[in-house]
C-alpha cells in the first residue's frame, strides 16, 4: 500500500453538479451545488450543503422549500455561471425558463432534464455550511430523457464535477447489485 495524507477536506473526488433553486423575495434564484446527495428513501429526502453566505439560502429558509435541478452537459455554461455569480449582486432569474410544480415557491428549470421539488425538513448548522435536508415532493423528468418509461442516464447526460473540471458519464463497467455475485463463485 502506497498512500499519502492528501488533505483535511471533504474530498469526495467526484460529485454530481446540480442547480439548487429557491425564490428569494418572490423571485427565482439558482445556485450551483456539488455537495448534494440522497439522504433517505422513506420518506424520500435529499441533502444540500449550503455555505452560510449564499443568497439562495435566504429563500430556502424564507419559504421552507427548494428545488434540485439536474442539468445536461449542454447546460454547462449557464450552470457554471450560476456558481460564479451571486443573486445578491446579479439577477439570475432570466438565465433559465422557470416553471412551478406542486410547490408554489420552489422554482424549477424547464431546460434541465430532471427537476426535484423539496420541502425543507431539517437544517443542521455545521460550520461554514448548513446541511439542509428536504423531503422530495415530486420528481419531474423530461420525456425525451426516458427509455421504456425509465430515466436513461445517457440521455440525461448529467454533469460530473471533479477537481475543478466538468465531465460526462463514461462506459457501463458493471451491473449494480449483481456484479458482486461473481466474487462468490
Ligand X SMILES: Cc1cc2nc3c(=O)[nH]c(=O)nc-3n(C[C@H](O)[C@H](O)[C@H](O)COP(=O)(O)O)c2cc1C
The three three-digit cell numbers of residue 88, written as one number: 445578491
Element (H, E) at 66: strand 65-70
Task: Show the binding pattern over residues 38-77: x = contacts ligand X (CB under 6 A), - = does not.
Answer: -----------xxx--xxx---------------------
Pair 108, 98: CB distance under 8 Å:
yes
Closest residue to ligand X, judged by C-beta, is 83
3-state secondary structure of 64: coil
Residues of this chain, 72-101, that bind ligand X according to CB under 6 A: 80, 83-88
In angstroms, what is the minimal distance from the CB of 121 to ligand X? 19
Shorter beta-carbon distance to ligand X: residue 49 or 136 = 49
According to CB under 6 A, which one of 32, 67, 72, 75 is a site residue for ligand X? 32
User: How many whole angstroms separate alpha carbon 154 and alpha carbon 32?
Assistant: 22
User: How many whole angstroms separate alpha carbon 27 and alpha carbon 120?
Assistant: 18
Q: Single out the residue of 113, 106, 100 nearest to residue 71, CA to CA.
A: 113
Q: Does 142 bind ligand X (CB under 6 A)?
A: no
Using the rule CB under 6 A, give the single segment among 27-35, 62-70, 119-127, 141-149 that binds ligand X: 27-35
The three three-digit cell numbers of residue 133, written as one number: 435536508
Task: Count Cβ atoms below 10 Å from residue 152 Cβ, excluding itself.
Answer: 14
Shorter beta-carbon distance to ligand X: residue 152 or 167 = 167
Shorter beta-carbon distance to ligand X: residue 85 or 123 = 85
User: How many whole angstroms separate alpha carbon 34 and alpha carbon 55?
Assistant: 16
Shorter beta-carbon distance to ligand X: residue 35 or 146 = 35
Which residues of the chain form contacts with ligand X (CB under 6 A)? 17, 29, 31-35, 49-51, 54-56, 80, 83-88, 161
Amino acid at each position: 500500500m502506497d498512500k499519502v495524507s492528501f488533505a483535511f477536506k471533504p474530498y469526495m473526488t467526484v460529485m454530481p453538479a446540480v442547480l439548487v433553486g429557491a425564490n428569494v423575495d418572490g423571485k427565482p434564484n439558482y445556485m450551483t451545488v456539488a455537495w448534494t446527495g440522497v439522504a433517505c428513501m422513506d420518506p424520500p429526502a435529499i441533502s444540500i450543503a449550503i455555505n452560510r453566505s449564499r443568497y439562495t439560502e435566504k429563500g430556502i429558509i424564507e419559504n421552507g422549500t427548494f428545488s434540485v435541478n439536474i442539468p445536461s452537459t449542454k447546460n454547462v455554461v449557464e450552470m457554471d455561471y450560476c456558481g460564479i455569480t451571486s443573486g445578491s449582486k446579479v439577477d439570475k432569474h432570466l438565465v433559465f425558463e422557470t416553471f412551478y410544480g406542486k410547490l408554489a415557491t420552489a422554482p424549477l428549470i424547464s431546460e434541465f432534464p430532471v427537476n426535484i421539488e423539496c420541502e425543507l425538513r431539517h437544517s443542521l448548522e455545521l460550520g461554514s455550511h448548513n446541511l439542509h435536508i428536504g423531503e422530495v415532493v415530486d420528481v419531474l423528468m423530461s420525456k425525451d430523457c426516458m427509455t421504456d418509461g425509465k430515466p436513461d442516464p445517457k440521455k440525461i447526460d448529467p454533469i460530473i464535477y471533479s477537481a475543478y473540471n466538468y465531465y460526462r458519464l463514461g462506459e457501463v463497467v458493471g451491473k449494480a447489485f449483481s456484479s458482486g455475485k461473481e466474487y462468490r463463485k
